[in-house]
Chains A and B, each alone.
Chain A
Amino acid sequence: MIQARIRKHYPPGRESAAFTLDVDFQAGDSVTVLFGPSGAGKTLTLDAIAGFVRPEQGRILLDDEILFDGAAAVDRSPQQRRCGYVFQNYALFPHMSLRRNLEFAAARSPRLERHRRVNETLERFRLEEVAGRRPHEVSGGQKQRCSIARALMGGPKLLLLDEPARGLDAPLRAELYAVLRQVRADFHIPILLVTHDLEECFELGEHMLILRDGRLVQSGTPRQILEGPATVEVARLLGLYNLLSAQIVSLDPGRNRSSLRVEGFELTGPYFPGRLRGDRVWLYVLPGQLAAVAREGKPGPSQVPARLVAITERPHGVRLEFDGGIAVEMPRDEWEKKKHNKEWLVEFPPHALRVI
């Protein structure tokens, strides 16, 4: 279990604006993903936990050990913190073979013990064949496995990974996820992983922390966050939704109905508890939850006439962009049937509408 409350202020520099990191979270023995745009303070958070940068205030607690406490002037050195760190560039020592890299991490064990543990680790991470080579002589996947293996050699109580999948192609990513799942099953320690790839959050994260401008804006499981972004910023960050500015025109709890006025048209939605008539809200709906149909006669109550402006191929289907910034996703075969349509209606199913 890691508990971290970190505050650090950077005054504006010649080429940088002022920045304040102010986060407070805890994470259990599973994978917790730190998600956010670049410059949100994700890596800085890892560095503060590992002891590479010193916060001004706060408290970092790993299991029952205090790593940092601003008020009590406790600041353990990185050497004492027992945090395994996997760097973005892996930071494998270029002048040592993979085996020596692992031995370096096990320097405290007696010689025979060290030899045995290094061999075991090389085997577990499928590195025996290349153990004698230097980092620049092995493949990207091997480098990555070696850096994770090295971080685990010292028996850390926490594993920190800084964008481990950055720059990897799809097969290597899949391999990385498999390795990390194995690590999670074998080591029972908290794993904190920094990413700005949403898919990675879903692949790995039991828990997700969203950072923006140095602050924690939302936390929860990836599914919870996807289904209920806390703010319009989070919704924008996830980059998945159709986001429309709207006003609530009527609310009917009895029939579980509401109606919303969006620029130029009106939609029917479910009842929104806690909202009042006249509230300005953001309407968010996933492109896959919308339907696009051919226009025949008068539009129905949840249908909006729209002009198709762009078509993008997606791995699982087709994405249609309509004017007004509305995107609709549909499977390929459905698109094949509809592609000769001239005039379109976008259908907003009332139950799919959510507001922030």
Chain B
Amino acid sequence: MAVDWFPLWLSLRVAAVSTALALGLGLALAWLLARRTFRGREALDAAVTLPLVLPPTVLGYYLLVAFGREAWLGRFYESVFGAPLVFTWQAAVVAALFHSAPLLIKSARAALESVDHSYERAARSLGASEWRVFWRISLPLAQRPVLAATALAFARSLGDFGVTIMIAGNIPGRTQTVAVAIYDAVESGNGALARILVVVTSAVALTILWLANRMSPRQTPA
């Protein structure tokens, strides 16, 4: 049987792009939540956590409305990239991002909060800018848990189904990610294809979890 590997490659590519975006966005938000005090901090934290608890279809619906051709976010996207977002592989990236970023932000916040304040204070009193304090002190000291969280976020991005099908659809060869392809295969009675994709996806996820576990528990000795 000729297996179409496109869904798996697409999923890996989507996961890679969304994890990179989640890491950038996540670190910035995590730093804000962990180290700044401002009004609405807990509200921001709740907003960031919301995608974790909402049903994927609800989240997908919101995104569909927000990125629709009539909505300002959708129009903005179209004016920058020249084409609408929905039902493209980029939409799958957005879906994966909303699926995985909350997890990364939560873990990164906890990791940054666990860094002893005195290191950051010492760096500041030595004249280091906030930017330098973050990159040279806070982040390196929180490196392991942040890397572990990134690996988890990658694994989670691979697995999104609900949001993806709402805004990226199920277009074989274009937006059909592995999770969607498995559903499609089962629906159409192609049990053999479903089994192969299930086994391969599980193996990939297991490998990533193993890597994440190797990274997380050990603490840098003080």
Contacts and interface: CB of A to CB of B under 8 A. Distances in A.
Interface of A: 50-52, 77-79, 81-85, 87-89, 91, 93-95, 104-105, 107-108, 135-136, 150-151, 153-154
Given A89-B118, A93-B119, A104-B136, A84 B125 contact: yes
A79 B222 contact: no
B191 interface: no
B125 A104 contact: no
Contacts of B118: 87-89, 91
Nearest to A106: B126
Contacts of A94: 119, 141, 220-222
A104 B119 CA distance: 12
B121 A91 contact: yes
A83 B220 contact: no
B141 A95 contact: yes
B137 interface: yes
A77 B136 contact: no
B79 interface: no
B127 A85 contact: no
A85 B221 contact: no
A84 B126 CA distance: 7
Contacts of B220: 94-95
Contacts of A108: 127
Interface of B: 116, 118-119, 121-129, 132, 136-137, 140-141, 220-222
A239 B122 CA distance: 34
Contact of B123 (A83, A88, A104, A135): A104
A77 B125 CA distance: 9
B125 A50 contact: yes
Contacts of B132: 107
Closest CB pairs A-B (n = 7): A91-B118, A91-B122, A78-B124, A105-B126, A136-B221, A85-B125, A87-B118
B126 A91 contact: no
A342 B206 CA distance: 82
B222 A104 contact: no
B121 A107 contact: no
A87 B124 CA distance: 13
Nearest to A108: B127
Contacts of B121: 50, 52, 78, 85, 87, 91
Listed residue (B127, B128, B222) with the most chain A CB atoms within 10 angstroms of its CB: B127
A66 to B, nearest CB: 18
A87 B127 contact: no
B63 to A, nearest CB: 39
Contacts of A52: 121, 124-125
Contacts of A88: 118
B116 A104 contact: no
Nearest to B126: A105
B37 to A, nearest CB: 11
Contact of A81 (B125, B129, B136, B222): B125
B140 A104 contact: no
Contacts of B141: 93-95
Contacts of B136: 104
A134 to B, nearest CB: 8
Given A52-B121, A95-B220, A150 B116 contact: no
19 contacts: A51-B124, A51-B125, A52-B125, A78-B121, A78-B125, A79-B127, A81-B125, A82-B127, A85-B121, A85-B122, A87-B122, A91-B116, A91-B122, A93-B122, A93-B141, A94-B222, A95-B140, A105-B126, A153-B126
B125 A83 contact: yes
B123 to A, nearest CB: 7
Contacts of B222: 89, 94, 135-136
B120 to A, nearest CB: 9
Listed residue (A82, A83, A94) with the most chain B CB atoms within 10 angstroms of its CB: A94
Nearest to A160: B125
Contacts of A78: 121, 124-125
Listed residue (A91, A105, A154) with the most chain B CB atoms within 10 angstroms of its CB: A91
Given A89-B222, A93-B137, A94-B221, 11 more contacts: A50-B121, A51-B124, A78-B124, A79-B124, A82-B127, A84-B125, A87-B118, A89-B118, A93-B141, A104-B128, A154-B126
